[in-house]
Structure 1
Amino acid sequence: MVGRGSLAAVAASALLLSGGNLAFAHDEIPSSDTALVEVYVNSEADVDALVSAGFDLAEYKRVEADGKIVVNIDADPGERSELRAKGFTIGRTVEDAAHREAVAAERDATREQDQVAKDLARNGVPAGGAKIDGRRAVPLPGETVIQRANRFTNYAGTFLYVEAHNKATTARRAVVNNRNVVVNDGPVQALSFSTDAGATYGDAVTMNIFNDGDVTPPVYMYHRHLIRLTAAQAAVPAGQLKVRVASASGAADEFPVTEWLGETLPPHVANYQQGFFNRYQDPTENRAQLDQLAAEFPELVTPVNLPHLSVGYQRKAQTVLGAWAGAGTTQNPLVPFTNQTGNLTAAEGARAIILTSKDWGHQGGNGISARLTAPTTADQALRVTVAGRAIVVSLATNAQGAVVSTAKDVVDAINANAAATALVTASTYRGNAGAGIPRTGETLTLRDYLNAPSHVQKGPFQQRVYRIGKHRDGSKVGVFLYCQQHAREWTTGLTCVETAERLVRNYGLDARTKELLDNVEVFVLANVNPDGAHYSMYDFNSQRRNMSNHCAPNTFQDPLARNAWGVDLNRNNGEYSRLDGYAGADSSCVSDVFSGNSEYSEPEIQNEKWVVDEFENIKFANNIHSYGGYFMWAPGAYKNDGNRTTAPAPNIGIEKYFFEAGEQILARIKEHRNTVILPERTGPIADVLYSAAGNSADDQWYRKGIISYSFETGADRFLSTSEGTTQQATGFQPCFSGLGTGGQTGTCNSNMINEGRDQAMEFASGNFGMVESAYDYAKDTTAPKTSIEFSAKQTMGEPINFRFNWDDEAAVIYYTTDGSTPTLSSRTYEAQRARGIGEVLTISALGVHDVKWMAVDIKGNQSPVQSQRLLIAADQEDGTVGGSVPATLALNVDGGSFGQFIPGVAQTYTAESTATVISTAGNATLTVADQSANKPGHLVNGAFSLAQPLQGLGVIKTWDAPVSNDRVTVTLSQAIGRDEPLRTGAYSKTLTYTLSTTQP
């Protein structure tokens, strides 16, 4: 901000401003009613004069297409009138007084909210206020619900991560209006949390809001916060540590803290081998190393050529003739084309002729030359001559000797010349009309601009997947590990190679490794994107995509656009893709998330798809990317439909499995150098990162049922000092060792030395953990154990809340509440919301409720059906209506009999009884239930029971008014199958008939 001059200095100024062509001195003290406005001036001299005159110019300036300069000035009404009087045009108002007052009021209100929330988080909700949900048994979810509270320790200290959702919060949307105005739309609910270190809650901190801003409008996801714990807090066992989250509204929740990555892992042997690389390697080198591994250990490794060759590390040779590249500035002057990328100016684009060789560069296209000449005589015709591999174009002149050939004329002439078209194709620049007169004189040579060393093969690449294991016949559970879909992610290919080397070379040394490879088959594809990776390593470091060029003719087909070609292979799959309407992929051929023109269009993704389709034993997969340190799974995409509709989210039992298996995998990552993948970066791709329509993890999970993960190597480095902790991103290509050539210190700071090597090492350990998870899956034959938790077993009319718990492993829970036996088609127990905890279920109808459930783990092991009886009974106290009629619920029951059961005959028997009902209540319900502990719901004969349940139990009849001597027929039925054994004697069961009411 350029400050206002002092009054004395301003009064002494006398300036000539070109905007009004009048000399004036600005010597007014501004009022408080100022506004930030756009002012149009004619020159830089006007800007300097306004500053000297004491006007308050903001640090903002832009130049319009007509040469006008726009500045922002903070001016009151008098100053604005003064500016207009001198001939300056005032444009948009960026900020007025009302806007500033509103922003200040919002600031103060939010500050008050923050303080209220902090006080409640630290001290709890006062007596008489809103209850803290955590104080009730199986409470209904309140306004604020904690989703997770995790403590972890890494190389930088001990940290606490808390995540909570607040139903009253909506996303804050920043809208840029008229270039500068920021409008905040939607209320923000302040959440704060404090930590109980075993005695009292400490100071509270305000949590951060996580909005998904990739959708329109943005969607509020949840609040989250990561803090470094004090030594006292870190010393408290995790099981004794709690957090309390509170909102300014008074809504609060309490939650126990769990240890993140606390699993104890089987150790490796002392001479465990690792570290099978000493620098970044390209795909050719990775393939050669794995080929050598297969040749050395044929009993453990089988290389398999994939059916589709890549497009190849190859390009046609090109040049730009007749136009100069650059922006025409001092820093970026116009010069003849050599190897520039970007765009031509409009004027140069009209002159340009794009030449593209017919042959690939390495097959003859490189080395063709071209030159434009301007004759010195008048009335010359346009001519094209070819001598060997040299093309010379002589431009046409008019009667005055001036060149008249346009770029389009030259293009047509070259394409009409048989000798020239045997070598090249000519076109104008990106569909330009080509009306400009080309520049002449320079001889330019066509090149493919590929600079890889000689060991890198030009042309299509033969990809291989390596089958690793003692039994490579599909009989063992398979794990598919694949790396470097994105070319610039250099650490990932090393991760796959290191994983393969460790598994194979430690087979005879490490008992754990042998156990894994005897029971699991591992498939390794080190470089999904070999062409793009070669291009990234030797030509354009930022290359993300492959080298397919799907741009249409007359668009981006010139060499200036060569760094913008390619398909994002992790957007090219078929499940929940861009073509299905999902977000996160682009149809533009020069977008970094270009998904291709059709699903599975790219040979690299066809190979990836072939692997999982061909080898049906693959049940686990891991797609390894960088950077940021993420561990993710499906769903990976959502629609930008205003509701952020994701691909179907897995059941909470499945998501729990992803988390539980992930704990082992992440613990292996941690063991290398104490790196912890953060809880906030662990979860579904769509919830912790962004939408990635057409990604591989979704394709494998939804299409094949493969437990498919996505790694992002390169976790942020934590930098902790006595003043606090910060996080530093590592980038796609972190320093491998930190040293330059000749032993000189390179550009790496002390926190990034050996970073590239360490990332590949620690995530190879993570891959080992994934193989361990597959082994655990293969050996799992035990049914999961689950239990029910409820607010009360019996109430007098009050609803009962309940939820299910997983006692030993994750599983999908199927349940009923009407006493029927649950099946795989029954209702499933779900999460409260995305990344949320389990839902709280409620029953409120009077009577007996038999909740039955079973659980099925991800392997398919199914538990027996369990049952819990819950009773909501009527209030039994006597009362009167009008002082004369006693409250009466009278019930008289006549019994019934099924008669004689006949063995060996399939038959359904019935028995009828009569219940006589008298009720003076406003409503009444008659139920029949079996409350015995011996085979509930079944007729019994001593220790024996009938196989099929007794039918007809439950609610028999309801009344919504008083009733007298109403006779109700109760019909019970018992089915007995032809092959069901029957024991001699009487089968019976005492049933409980209950008449209840909620309106005595």
Structure 2
Amino acid sequence: MLAAVSAGVLTASAPAFASGTDDGTVRVKLTGAAMLAEAQERGFDLDHGLERVPDGIEAKMHLSKAQELELLAMGGEILEPGEEFQWGLSKARIVAADALPRPAAPTVRIVRADYFSTKGQGFLYVEARTTKGKENLPGGDPENPQPLVTMTLESDSGPGTAFATPRAMNRFMDSGEYMFHRNRIPVDKRPDQIRVTATLPGPGGTTVTDGQAVGKVSDWLDEVTPLTAAPGYKYDFVDGYKHPQQLYARFEEMAQQYPEIAEIVRMPNQTNGYQRKAQATIGPAPTNPMTPAQSTVVVSSAAWGHEGGNGISVEMVERPGANLPLSVTVEGKAVKVHLAKDSGGALASTAKQVADAIEAGSQGLIDRAHPYRANEGTGIVPATTVPIVLTDFLSQKRNGAPAGEVPRGPYTIRALRIGKHRDGSKPGVLIQASDHAREWVPMTITLEAAERLVRNYATDPATRDIIDNTDIFLIPVNNPDGANYSFYNFASQRKNMTNHCPDAAADPGNRNAWGVDLNRNYRVGSGFDGYDGASDSCTSGNYMGPAELSEPESKNSVWLVEQYRNIKFMMSVHSNGGQLFWQPGAYIAEGRITTPRPPLGHESFYWQSAERILSHVRATPRQTVVQTEDVGGSSDVLYSSAGNVREDMYFNYGIFSFGWEVGGSVYDPNTKRFVDGSFQPPWPDSPLISGHGETLEYANGIMEMFRVAADWGRDKAPATSTLTPSARQFDSPTAVRFDTNEPATIYYTTDGTAPTLQSTRYKQTEFREPGEELWVDKTTTFKWFSVDAAGNVEPAGYDPNNPATANSYRSETINIGEGGTVGGTVPATLSLSLAGTATFDPFVPGVAEDYEASVNTNVISTAGNATLSVADPSSTHTGKLVNGAFALPEPLQVMATGGPAFANVGGAAAPTNVLTYDAPVSNAKPTITFKQAIKANDALRTGTYSKTLTFTLSTTNP
């Protein structure tokens, strides 16, 4: 038998089978959320408790021994070992599990070795892993632990030259987990190879080599010619930062000027709008947190500020006398609070009492009044010297902001749709800019890209190809309310302007901290699910909102991709940091359990696309290089961002979803340092940091993304995959791997069954690494097919959803041993037995009811696939129960456990399929359930209704 049923083969030191627990389950450990998702896909019984532990997830499962093998091959761990496991080898020899030792895994692996140059200076960037990377020196400072392993990088100066200049590599830890060691160093000549060495402390202050690896250096980014270099190509249309009104007005103009290729798509959910309630804080504000302002009251208008809230006044009035009650009067927009006095003539109204009185007596002018922050409002409110006037604090006079009146009401977000064929036949690309209001450059990048498309369509062949072969949706600013607030009120505004804060945080002193982080408001890996990087504090910069998709802006994004299902690519454009990333985007901090990683084929396609996009960013005078360390899963290169838009688009809709932090660092050859950008860099052109420069170079990248989508839409050729080494004879266990000529995902089996989309998926060794090695201890036949990023299946014509009727999958056998055989035969067997008769409870006339009756079965099938069907052979009242000459009006329905939903019983010419087996089974015991509907007006004849049915177990793959 095979040592594993799906994911390769067991290692020689295979863990033993689990003895189990009293309830028939075994305890297992999974490495994280990705393995948990894979186990769920494979149908493992996971309904017996899950528990997060620091290094993964522990679970209880009901497992067959075949499933235990499968789990072990996936990389899981059995926590309660029992009986020993042995397997057969050539010539039917039975050997112990440790008789054929697998070679020790290397202690050092090189992940990446990339060379790039900018402004005449070359750089080498290296990532490498060591098996002891997480370990620290014993006895050190727990607040500043020192690595146990020292990693050293050496490089040559070209082919045939020696390694030189050892440099220490830096250990990168994230959320307590070891990621890798890395280093970026300037080099004068392009290296051909690198060498990485790991050393451990030895006796007497010496060091001991723990491992070493040598690897080839690759070029990061290609030398390309950007579209802007084409004769007559028009670009550089944006002369400065633009506020949302300017952006959307220009998009409306484009749709009118170029109706044959452009139109406006209006989103259904209006935003909060650039508007606020008028407010005032009345009374002494606290000088520090230790002296709370118990006498202070915060008031908010019922109307928006511009609709009547501005100009409301509140005055705390002290009257002469004693034993006076608290009261409120209103004259026009003036609210007067007549403070109470005690028997001695002293003021006696507390802040809580005053707040309640204002809410009750302001005649609808003020609908929210409360003590300041988290105070109970027990202090006595003093009289005011003058009336306090409420204001919404919104100003349009900030120095440097563009001119233009900002509309105050709810705002309609729009997308400019550009494409010659806007009928869903071409792959759609969504560019969504500036979820975060303070990020101004993404807005101008989107505008520049739109201008290039419509202005060059008539004259530039490359632009014409883009528009003829893609369907583009451009949202220049997805947070228009927050962007207006950033332009005119508070430049660092990140969130939208929806205020969900409770009284404790709703005073105007917090007005620059209100709003929802739109890129934390989505449904996958959200803060509500325990993922890191989002906050439930309404004043946090990462506030995720009161619920997933609570905000109209995020609802609009989901609406757009559901309305236009041809959208297959998405770019969420942010600034600044110079990263380009994708999934996984979030993790649970304890154990660093990420959202699932994309299949190897998708991740490879992301990397391929990123290199194309970023090569065009570099092809500008500033030669900006987005570096390898800033490319990949966003939780790996940036941080965990729970509930981000990219993961919602990818996992819910299958959209290739990129995130882009434009800006980044630019190399200064004078200081020999990289200079970081900012959210609102100076606009004028500069060889270093410049809003204008960033707009031009990153618009180049957006244009190349459109070409990636166009090429994806034209791709009709499947990948070519190979098993390396291919079918051969080996005398001892060996490792194999799959290779493809383009990004593609491999699905394979090793148990003789035909591969399907539910079969084992060929995976990465680690994140940012190539495919895994599959260790073959026994003669093993691999059956597989590949699916490329465009969905093309190899071999052509193979249908993984129906392997029995499709063309042949790929298959190769790796032979292990001396060629001896042992075997036996299985006769073709189809066996079906029924235990008794299905009998309904008595039907009650005049009462509407659904009756159910069941019969147990036993199924044995040695076929590659089999179908269990039920038919009514009678030509009289076919499919209905009969009582002599009478028949029930409603048809008889049937289903089987594990099969499709209830369906009407068909006749002999069209039997009803109730269950399908895609592999051999023995003693399967599905329950056949019949359902009979009786309507209130159905006429029923005294006696017994019945029908003899024919059950058939059949196969087309004996």
TM-score by length of 1: 0.66
Cα deviation digits, residues 502-545 of structure 1 (max 9, x gap): 11111112100001100111001111111111111111111111
Within the candidate set 642, 657, 662, 1:713 is matched to 662
Within the candidate set 767, 772, 780, 1:839 is matched to 772
Within the candidate set 151, 161, 173, 2:125 is matched to 161
User: Cα distance 1:174–1:370, how it changes in 2: closer, same or farther (>3 A)?
Assistant: farther
1:631 Cα deviation after fit: 0.5
Between Structure 1 and Structure 2, which shows a larger proportion of helix residues? Answer: 1
Within the candidate set 233, 242, 247, 1:286 is matched to 247
Within the candidate set 640, 665, 684, 1:691 is matched to 640
Cα deviation digits, residues 308-331 of structure 1 (max 9, x gap): 100111000001112246x3xxxx
The code of the aligned residue for 2:679 comes to: F
Unaligned runs of 5+ in 2: 1-101, 200-208, 398-403, 796-808, 829-861, 864-918, 921-954
Within the candidate set 212, 217, 220, 1:260 is matched to 220
SS at match of 2:536: coil
Q: Does the 8 A contact of 1:813 with 1:853 survive in 2?
A: yes
Question: Aligned runs of 1:981-996 on 2, under 5 Å?
Answer: none
Aligned residue pairs, count: 702
Cα deviation digits, residues 263-292 of structure 1 (max 9, x gap): 645745222111222111111111011111
User: Cα distance 1:586–1:184, how it changes in 2: closer, same or farther (>3 A)?
Assistant: same
Cα deviation digits, residues 938-972 of structure 1 (max 9, x gap): xxxxxxxxxxxxx99xxxxxxxxxxxxxxxxxxxx
Q: C-alpha separation between the residues in 1 aligned to 2:362 and 2:279?
A: 19
* Structure 2 equivalent of residue 701 of structure 1: 650
* Structure 1 equivalent of residue 786 of structure 2: 855
SS at match of 1:448: coil
Q: C-alpha separation between the residues in 1 aligned to 2:713 and 2:679?
A: 35
Q: Does the 8 A contact of 2:335 with 2:362 survive in 1?
A: no
Q: Does the 8 A contact of 1:790 with 1:800 survive in 2?
A: no
Instruction: Determine whether 1:535 maps to 2:485.
Output: yes
Question: Aligned runs of 1:600-749 on 2, under 5 Å?
Answer: 600-640=549-589, 642-672=590-620, 673-721=622-670, 725-737=672-684
Name which one, 1 or 2, has greater alpha-carbon Rg. Answer: 1
User: Cα distance 1:263–1:803, how it changes in 2: closer, same or farther (>3 A)?
Assistant: farther
1:210 Cα deviation after fit: 1.1
Within the candidate set 236, 241, 244, 1:275 is matched to 236
1:397 Cα deviation after fit: 4.0
Cα deviation digits, residues 204-261 of structure 1 (max 9, x gap): 111111111xx3xx1111111111112xx23x6xxxx111111004311111111111
Instruction: Determine whether 1:827 maps to 2:760.
Output: yes
1:399 Cα deviation after fit: 5.4
Q: Does the 8 A contact of 1:368 with 1:390 survive in 2?
A: yes
The code of the aligned residue for 2:683 comes to: F
Question: Aligned runs of 1:740-759 on 2, under 5 Å?
Answer: 752=688, 755-759=690-694
* Structure 2 equivalent of residue 219 of structure 1: 177
Question: Aligned runs of 1:133-532 on 2, under 5 Å?
Answer: 141-155=105-119, 157-170=121-134, 183-185=143-145, 187-196=147-156, 197-198=158-159, 199-212=161-174, 215=175, 218-230=176-188, 233-234=189-190, 241-248=192-199, 249-262=209-222, 264-265=224-225, 267-268=227-228, 269-324=230-285, 327=287, 345=289, 347=291, 349-375=293-319, 381-398=325-342, 401-419=345-363, 421-423=364-366, 425-439=368-382, 440-452=384-396, 455-532=405-482
Q: Which moved more, 1:261-270 or 1:440-449?
A: 261-270
SS at match of 1:409: helix
1:166 Cα deviation after fit: 1.2
The code of the aligned residue for 2:347 comes to: V
Q: Does the 8 A contact of 1:633 with 1:685 survive in 2?
A: yes
Q: C-alpha separation between the residues in 1 aligned to 2:582 and 2:418?
A: 24
User: Cα distance 1:512–1:174, how it changes in 2: closer, same or farther (>3 A)?
Assistant: farther
1:401 Cα deviation after fit: 4.5
1:396 Cα deviation after fit: 3.7
Within the candidate set 705, 714, 726, 1:770 is matched to 705
Q: C-alpha separation between the residues in 2 aligned to 1:598 and 1:499?
A: 34
The code of the aligned residue for 1:803 comes to: R
Instruction: Determine whether 1:557 maps to 2:557.
Output: no
User: Cα distance 1:795–1:311, how it changes in 2: closer, same or farther (>3 A)?
Assistant: same
SS at match of 1:767: helix
Q: C-alpha separation between the residues in 2 aligned to 1:169 and 1:405?
A: 65
Cα deviation digits, residues 552-604 of structure 1 (max 9, x gap): 3x321211111111111111111221222222111111111111111111001
SS at match of 2:793: coil
Q: C-alpha separation between the residues in 2 aligned to 1:144 and 1:725?
A: 31
User: Cα distance 1:893–1:758, how it changes in 2: closer, same or farther (>3 A)?
Assistant: closer
1:187 Cα deviation after fit: 4.4
User: Cα distance 1:892–1:689, how it changes in 2: closer, same or farther (>3 A)?
Assistant: closer
Q: Does the 8 A contact of 1:545 with 1:569 survive in 2?
A: yes
Q: Does the 8 A contact of 1:735 with 1:752 survive in 2?
A: no
* Structure 1 equivalent of residue 944 of structure 2: none
The code of the aligned residue for 2:376 comes to: A
* Structure 1 equivalent of residue 938 of structure 2: none
Cα deviation digits, residues 783-811 of structure 1 (max 9, x gap): 11233333994433x2222222233x111
Within the candidate set 515, 527, 531, 1:566 is matched to 515
* Structure 2 equivalent of residue 805 of structure 1: 739
The code of the aligned residue for 1:219 comes to: E
Instruction: Determine whether 1:545 maps to 2:495.
Output: yes
Cα deviation digits, residues 26-51 of structure 1 (max 9, x gap): xxxxxxxxxxxxxxxxxxxxxxxxxx
Q: C-alpha separation between the residues in 2 aligned to 1:487 and 1:725?
A: 33
Question: Aligned runs of 1:882-893 on 2, under 5 Å?
Answer: none
User: Cα distance 1:560–1:795, how it changes in 2: closer, same or farther (>3 A)?
Assistant: same
Question: Aligned runs of 1:7-86 on 2, under 5 Å?
Answer: none
1:393 Cα deviation after fit: 3.2
User: Cα distance 1:369–1:202, how it changes in 2: closer, same or farther (>3 A)?
Assistant: same
Q: Does the 8 A contact of 2:223 with 2:619 survive in 1?
A: no
Question: Aligned runs of 1:944-955 on 2, under 5 Å?
Answer: none
1:299 Cα deviation after fit: 1.0
User: Cα distance 1:296–1:399, how it changes in 2: closer, same or farther (>3 A)?
Assistant: same
Q: Does the 8 A contact of 1:245 with 1:254 survive in 2?
A: yes
SS at match of 2:614: helix
SS at match of 1:251: strand
Q: Does the 8 A contact of 2:733 with 2:776 survive in 1?
A: yes
1:698 Cα deviation after fit: 0.3
SS at match of 2:533: coil
The code of the aligned residue for 2:484 comes to: H
User: Cα distance 1:698–1:156, how it changes in 2: closer, same or farther (>3 A)?
Assistant: farther
Which structure would you say has the larger RCO, counting Cα contacts within 8 Å and 6 or more residues apart? 2
Q: C-alpha separation between the residues in 1 aligned to 2:463 and 2:387?
A: 62
Q: Does the 8 A contact of 1:317 with 1:446 survive in 2?
A: yes
SS at match of 2:164: coil
* Structure 2 equivalent of residue 599 of structure 1: 548
User: Cα distance 1:311–1:391, how it changes in 2: closer, same or farther (>3 A)?
Assistant: same
1:817 Cα deviation after fit: 4.5
The code of the aligned residue for 2:375 comes to: N
The code of the aligned residue for 1:653 comes to: G
Unaligned runs of 5+ in 1: 1-137, 328-343, 739-749, 876-888, 899-907, 910-950, 953-976, 981-1000
Q: C-alpha separation between the residues in 2 aligned to 1:696 and 1:894?
A: 55
